[in-house]
Each structure stands twice: as structure tokens, then as C-alpha cells.
Chains A and B, each alone.
With several copies, the nearest count.
Chain A
């Protein structure tokens, strides 16, 4: 046990309290829940996200300008209950309806759906976009069964901006769904993390082995084998990404090289270097390049690569100002300045 916590049963609650101890000037607790809401939500469609805690900054910190208006955490790796979601949505709903954005997991869907029923019964329109970017979770024919992982960053950001642009609920829903459909991710891990208070890692892998396609809760992936070099791993993952969503030269993409928890920034940069080579070699235009811990699974050692295929409509919202507590505006190097 190496974690700095007080009580395993209080981790989800104290994480939210800590968030408010730092960011309380902008956000406020939703009483009786692990939810937080903007102090001053806009007069617009309310974007509400949430899911199990333990993936910070997902979902707790996916709130702010160009992000959600309120987020509701559950216990570690457990979806929040419907009544908490309802209270969180009500804290920011301003008569224009609610867009739910969350990861496509059974637990989240069950709880958010029940919350949606309750809100709708009270006359509040609700639309839902479930993040399904993890291409390793199901074949392309059943893409709607895929899990949501780090690529949800792109959808969250675009949904937030579309709502801020003043679109109505149907339009915000359509843009967010389009962003989700245009995003692909794949992860890899070489060692699991532990749940606070737990002693056994969420998944175990013999030393020197890695697993591609692994999920954010340690769900098994598509390919387990000996550790590859960073370049080999990045190449294989890029091949999966491009296979699943073919690209043409000149296309515009946004990229996220995401750390799962214990991966060093040096490793992420070494991966990013190779990802960049791959994108350049395919003649893609890198509109934005993100690197960092945007979606974690405790102190799992590994990373994911996410690609958003931009079109003119998505770009309009993507380029709007955005700011969250974990988020730094990305920036891409023009292709010519990047050395091989």
C-alpha cells in the first residue's frame, strides 16, 4: 500500500472536496453527491458528464470553459447513482435541456438512463452521447458497443463549445455525436494500478509483457506479448487506428498521447515523437497535439493514442476557447519544423 489517502471509503468524497479546495472559486459542490457544478452556468444547453472516479482528471476536471457545466463522479470505478446525476444536472440546467456525455459502460448507461427518465418526466429534455472511441473494445460493425477512453477528451471539448456557441439541444447533440464518431483511440499498458485501499492490481501482467487494447479498468485487450520498443508500440497502434478509420493525405487531425497514470512525460514524448513521424509520413495535417495525463486508471503504466478526424464543422467548435483545471491548449508544430 503506497497510496496517500485517509480512508478507502472516503477517497471519492475527499477527491471532490480537494478539487473544490483548489478550484472552489469557479465551481461548487452539488450537495449530497460527488458532483460539482459551475458557479455561473451559461444560459444555454447544459452539458453534464460523469462516471466512476479513479480516472482523474476524467470526469471531475472535464468542467470549465469549453467543457461540461457540471460533472458527477461515482465511487472508484463505479458509475454515480441516478439521483446524484439528476441533482447535478438540475444544478446547471437553465431551460434549454441537458446533454449527457459519458463513457459507454453498462453501469454508466444504466444510471444516466434512469436519471434521464426522471429529468424527462419533470419536463427537462435530455440527449445522450456515449463515448465509444476505444477501437479495441469491439469490431467496427459493432462500434456502438465500444468503450469510452481518453478520446472522450475531444468529444467533451467539442460538446462544451457547441453548447457555448448557443446551439440548441438537438444541434449540440448532433455535433457531439459527430465528434465521437470521428474519434478513435487505442491503449497499451505494461503494469496495472491498484484501487485505493486495495492491494491487488486491477490487472497483472508478467514483467516484460505488455497488452495492447487494454481498457481503463484493466479490461483485457487485443494483443498481449513481450514489451516492444516505444517506436514499435506506437507504429502498431497507429496501424490499428488507421485501419479502423482510414485517412487521406492532407486530412486534418488532432492527436492526444495520453498517460494512464505512472507513465513518465519522457516516455510520452518519446511516443509522441514517433506518432508525429507516422502522421507526417501519411501526409496528415496535425491541427493540434496534446500530451499528458488526460484520462488515467490509477497508477497504471501505459498510454493511449487518440485521433480526432476534424471536419470544418467540428473544427469551428474545437477552435473555440477552452480551459479546464487539467487542460492546456495544445499546439502542433508545423510539419516542416519536425526532424525525422
Chain B
């Protein structure tokens, strides 16, 4: 798969929403360990609304499903992650427009997301936030795009692995933002809930892309990161 149609993007994001909703308990448990325990609730609320929006009227621009999901998260979730996951999906207000989505366009989109997340949240890599998963994922996308040889599905898979490693790495960090900040060293050993969500988002995108990629391997359902 070299480009995604508008419909591909819509279906992929529906799959993401479904995966996040199914991960509610997992995300709440992660947030209970070093936050206030509500991360899964907010994400479920936001992505339930997003799924409804995606089920709704047709889209004629491949960036619009992303923006719709983002706006939906921003206006329904509340909490830190409402805005942050909102801009993660929305990218920037000054967005591109295109009927299909190439890897390069997708990469530019997430680069704008990353910049916006960092601008608003003021977190950097190593601060134990979702940036720790998003930043390596975006870097990986950029490398795949620059190589010019990688398909969308493989690029998303690589980005998902990078996001997952980044999320895992947060176990070794103390938090500088969010509710875990005051925990100090007591946050060590726990994964950041937002980084975990971010990894799940990229994994769900990679899974969908592989499932709908002629050349892609069928994904093994056992690697699904839900807790249903």
C-alpha cells in the first residue's frame, strides 16, 4: 500500500477507536499506578464519540478524518489527554489537504502533531509523557519516508514498534509533567499511561494497514493489546 484513500483513513481510525475503547481497563490501571486512574475513562469517552463521528457523513479529504477525530477528542474528553491526543490526531490547525494520503503526507501530519503536542504540553523526550512514544514513532516514519522504499503498512509497523519501545522506556524515567510529577522516583518501574495509549494507537494503525495491505502478513490476533 503506497497511499491510503479517504475511506482507508476513515476505516483505519475506526479500528484505532475500537482498540482504544477495548483498552480502557488497561489504561486506567496504568494511570492508577502513577496518576489519578482515569486515563482509560477519558480515552473511552473520546474515542466513542470519535467513532460515532467517523461512522457519520462522508469525508472528501484524507486529512479530515484525522482532524475530526482530533476535534472530537478535544471537545469530549477533557483532561490533559483530551487536548494532547486531540492535537496528536488533529495535527495543526494550518493543515494540508489531499484526496489520498502518502507516507510522506502521513509523516508530515504526525510531525506537525508532535510539534503541537510539545508546544502545548511543553514536555520533551524523557519527561515520561506520551511524547516518549510519539517522538520515536514520528522519527521512524520520517526515516521510512526518506528511504523512499517502505510501504505504508511496514512504515506504520516500524513506527508502532518504536512507539512501544518508547513507552516501555518510560518505566526508567521520573515524570516531569502531569499527575505523576510529584511521585519522583516512586514513578520508576511504571509505564506512562499516555505513552502506552500512543503505542496502542500506532499498533492499531499498523495492524489495520497490514490487514488491508495486499503484500502484508495477516496479523496474529494474540499480539492485540486490549484487555477485553
Contacts and interface: CB of A to CB of B under 8 A. Distances in A.
A adjacent to B, CB under 8 Å: yes
Interface of A: 52, 74-84, 105-107, 110-111, 113-114, 136-138, 145, 147, 195, 198, 200, 202, 215, 217-221
Interface of B: 32, 36-38, 41-42, 45, 74-84, 120-121, 177-179, 181-183, 186
A110 B122 CA distance: 10
Contact of A79 (B78, B177, B183): B78
B77 A220 contact: no
Contacts of A75: 38, 41-42, 45, 78-79
13 contacts: A75-B41, A75-B79, A77-B38, A78-B79, A81-B82, A105-B80, A105-B179, A106-B177, A106-B179, A110-B82, A200-B32, A202-B37, A219-B182
Contacts, number: 90
B206 to A, nearest CB: 28
A198 B84 contact: no
Given A77-B38, A107-B82, A110-B83, A217 B77 contact: no
Given A105-B179, A217-B36, 8 more contacts: A52-B79, A76-B38, A79-B79, A82-B75, A83-B75, A110-B120, A136-B182, A147-B182
Contacts of B81: 107
Nearest to B183: A220
A120 to B, nearest CB: 14
B128 to A, nearest CB: 12
B79 A74 contact: yes
Contacts of B37: 195, 198, 200, 202
Q: Max chain B CB contacts within 10 Å: which of A80, A107, A200, A202?
A: A107
Given A75-B41, A78-B42, A137-B182, A114 B74 contact: yes
A76 B38 CA distance: 9
Find the residue from A74, A81, A136, A218 having the highest chain B CB count within 10 A. Answer: A81
Across the A-B interface, the 6 shortest Cβ-Cβ residue pairs: A107-B80, A78-B79, A110-B83, A74-B78, A217-B36, A78-B78
A78 B31 CA distance: 13
A44 B75 CA distance: 28
Nearest to A218: B36
A111 B78 contact: yes
B82 A111 contact: yes
Contacts of B182: 136-138, 147, 215, 219-221
